[in-house]
Structure 1
Amino acid sequence: MSLADSVLAVNDDLPIRTDKPVHSGKVRSVYWLTDEDSRRLIKQKNYPVAEDTPLAIMVISDRISAFDCIFHGEGGLKGIPGKGAALNAISDHWFKCFAEQGLADSHILDVPHPLVWIVQKARPVKVEAICRQYITGSMWRAYAKGEREFCGITLPEGLQKDQKLPEILITPSTKGILKNISGVPEQDDVNVSRKNIEENVEAFGFESAADIDLYEKLLKEGFAVISKQLETIDQTFVDTKFEFGYVTDDKGQSKLIYMDEVGTPDSSRIWDTKEYQQGRVVENSKESFRQMLLNHFPDPDILLNKDRMGEREALARDNALPLDAMMKVSKTYTELAEKIIGQPLQVSTHPKAEIIEVLKRDYQLVD
């Protein structure tokens, strides 16, 4: 078996029975099950959802994206070995912690394979919520240029790069393009304030104004759960994004849940605590991959300048990254996952064949 065989790069061509187009994102692909299969599985597997809930198979790939491009490595390596399994295992772990501590459930109903979730359809809240415990990245760059207000929150003077903030900040941005909202530009991923959300509850996908308080509570408490546990393995939780949606449970009640992924090296910044205490930032997240790319290519402006997107796409397409750089990222993801879940990570040798077999044998979803 070659290393390339263990990587799941293409995840939208599996023979899973569906009557809708496969939705493929940067990393995950979603297969919506037929109404018949959804009802059958809910009954057979006793999932705690309403009997008419649409279900989907969500398959994560080992692809790695940065600066809105997919990168590949030498030796036909179309992704990072173990990355998908690491992301799934980490998210699943945190979602279970949240449920056990009575915060909220998640969209995951079942984990048939390390690269696969069975999820329930949610009505998404149209806010990508970023929680920040330290000033770094884009926030620091804006602060250094003199900005002091972020999403309606005013920061004090005199903060230093990578410093811990006085309190956890919630800096939401739009998820998708929202139209006809005063003060909110019609484009994806623009910062919004709590006041914007309060004045446009339904437009942002909330079912009641009270749920804005609940969403902030779930953000802060979820962040605290992850931060506290990461401290025990000498990792500092710097910032992360959360996503939420509504589902209807088996009693017909609508409830707010966590969805997408959470607390992963893809969606968060995580620093080595001992290094940070010595005044150095060592990233245990995708940020280290971004920094490697900026150092690897002679003209980093191509990666940073949105006006050079064509050149950037050509750069990602035409350049195989060094194998040792790809394996370093693999080590970061898999070692962090194993520390978080407290056991060895299950990594596939022939992922596509394994996924097809388990979905056929145990779920009757492959003809």
Structure 2
Amino acid sequence: MKALTKTDFHFEGQKNVYHGKVRDVYDINDDVIVMVATDRISAFDVILPKGIPFKGQVLNQIAAKFLDATTDICPNWKLATPDPMVTVGLKCEGFRVEMIIRSILTGSAWRAYKEGCRELCGVKLPEGMKENQRFPEPIITPTTKADEGHDLNISKEEIIAQGIVSAEDYAVMEDYTRRIFQRGQEMAAQRGLILVDTKYEFGKRDGKVYLIDEIHTPDSSRYFYADGYEEKFEKGLPQKQLSKEFVRQWLIEHDFMNEPGQTMPEITDEYAESVSERYIELYEHITGEKFDKTVEEGDIAARIEKNVADYLATRK
């Protein structure tokens, strides 16, 4: 099984390229960006040493589906998906904030709560909550985009006071966040899933706020299976979930949380394939469509380069 873990394309009009943890972003004429979802995988803010076959395709195709399904709520950056692993979209000036919205106390929020935290990003948390319990209503817990390392929790008030985002733009982002999340939850429910939490990124172009980047993928979101959720919660059992959390849990079990002195465990081919299968499982659950593996036959990078070049030629 093949995985695309790095790219080095040279498209016509290319100004620069940014290699992120998972995505490689090519700037074309300071107007559009070509975002390649690679098969890299990251956890605890570190890129794992082995790629996950089909992961980029899963992320890109799920994100495209949800971007298309939310255009009535807010404008987004997507123009086209010329390749299963690529989205081309409008270049926006990104806000240095990630809007994280949570409907259930789990993951890092639960780990903090268990340690005694009762306020998260300026949001007061009720006493006596249990792991995987629903909040009375979804809470927004933003983070600031760090140049490197961990993103930092921050409150709405601090974001506005520090001038990271204006009060007007933040109000728009907050409104969009709640409405897109509600749409995502409705779509997940139709597939027997619960959209537990997710993150959104926004940018600005010509004075207008746009939704940018991916949405509702297993890298940016957590899904539980609806069937059995209540019973498992009442019994204090772990929820069956579709998200990247299972990778984090595997790393924790192997004594790795990217802390000083810790060593990354070996990622075997068998483990990489099992992660790939979990990503495909989520794709098929959330989209209701059969996943097409045939696109990874042949030279992946050459296919992407041709598909993107052909698309960009149509924009001239």
One-letter amino acid of the structure 2 residue matched with residue 190 of structure 1: L
Trace 1:208-357 onto structure 2 (pairs within 5 A).
209-248=167-206, 254-279=207-232, 280-295=238-253, 297=254, 300=255, 303-304=256-257, 306-308=259-261, 311-312=262-263, 315=264, 319=266, 321-347=267-293, 348=295, 349-350=297-298, 351-357=300-306
Select which of 166, 173, 176 maps to 2:136.
Answer: 166
The residue that corresponds to 1:25 in the other structure is: 20
Alpha-carbon distance, 1:343 to partner: 2.4
CA contact (8 A) 1:124 1:205 kept: no
CA contact (8 A) 1:85 1:345 kept: no
Q: Which is richer in strand?
A: 2
The residue that corresponds to 1:204 in the other structure is: 164
Q: For 1:144 and 1:357, locate their aligned partners in 2 and report how far apart those are by CA, in whole Å.
A: 51
Alpha-carbon distance, 1:131 to partner: 0.3
Q: For 1:292 and 1:86, locate their aligned partners in 2 and report how far apart those are by CA, in whole Å.
A: 21
Which is higher, the Rg of structure 1 or of structure 2? 1
One-letter amino acid of the structure 2 residue matched with residue 261 of structure 1: E
Alpha-carbon distance, 1:19 to partner: 4.7
Q: For 1:360 and 1:215, locate their aligned partners in 2 and report how far apart those are by CA, in whole Å.
A: 33
Q: For 1:322 and 1:223, locate their aligned partners in 2 and report how far apart those are by CA, in whole Å.
A: 35
Q: Secondary structure at the match of 1:159?
A: coil
| Percent identical residues | 34
One-letter amino acid of the structure 2 residue matched with residue 189 of structure 1: D
CA separation of 1:176/1:328 partners in 2, compared to 1, >3 Å: closer, same or farther? same
Q: For 1:189 and 1:154, locate their aligned partners in 2 and report how far apart those are by CA, in whole Å.
A: 20
Q: Could you give the per-residue CA deviations for residues 161-191 of structure 1, whole angstroms, max 9, x where no partner exists?
A: 11111110001111136xxxxxxxxx96222
- Unaligned 5+ segments in structure 1 are 36-52, 73-77, 178-186, 249-253
CA separation of 1:17/1:273 partners in 2, compared to 1, >3 Å: closer, same or farther? same
Q: For 1:243 and 1:28, locate their aligned partners in 2 and report how far apart those are by CA, in whole Å.
A: 14
Select which of 38, 48, 73 maps to 1:71.
Answer: 48
Q: For 1:136 and 1:340, locate their aligned partners in 2 and report how far apart those are by CA, in whole Å.
A: 20
Alpha-carbon distance, 1:17 to partner: 3.0
Q: Secondary structure at the match of 1:147?
A: coil
CA separation of 1:234/1:32 partners in 2, compared to 1, >3 Å: closer, same or farther? same
The residue that corresponds to 2:109 in the other structure is: 139
CA separation of 1:122/1:205 partners in 2, compared to 1, >3 Å: closer, same or farther? farther
Trace 1:69-218 onto structure 2 (pairs within 5 A).
69-72=46-49, 78-99=50-71, 102-176=72-146, 189-200=151-162, 203-206=163-166, 209-218=167-176
CA contact (8 A) 1:9 1:79 kept: yes
- Unaligned 5+ segments in structure 2 are 233-237
Q: For 2:273 and 2:53, locate their aligned partners in 1 and report how far apart those are by CA, in whole Å.
A: 7
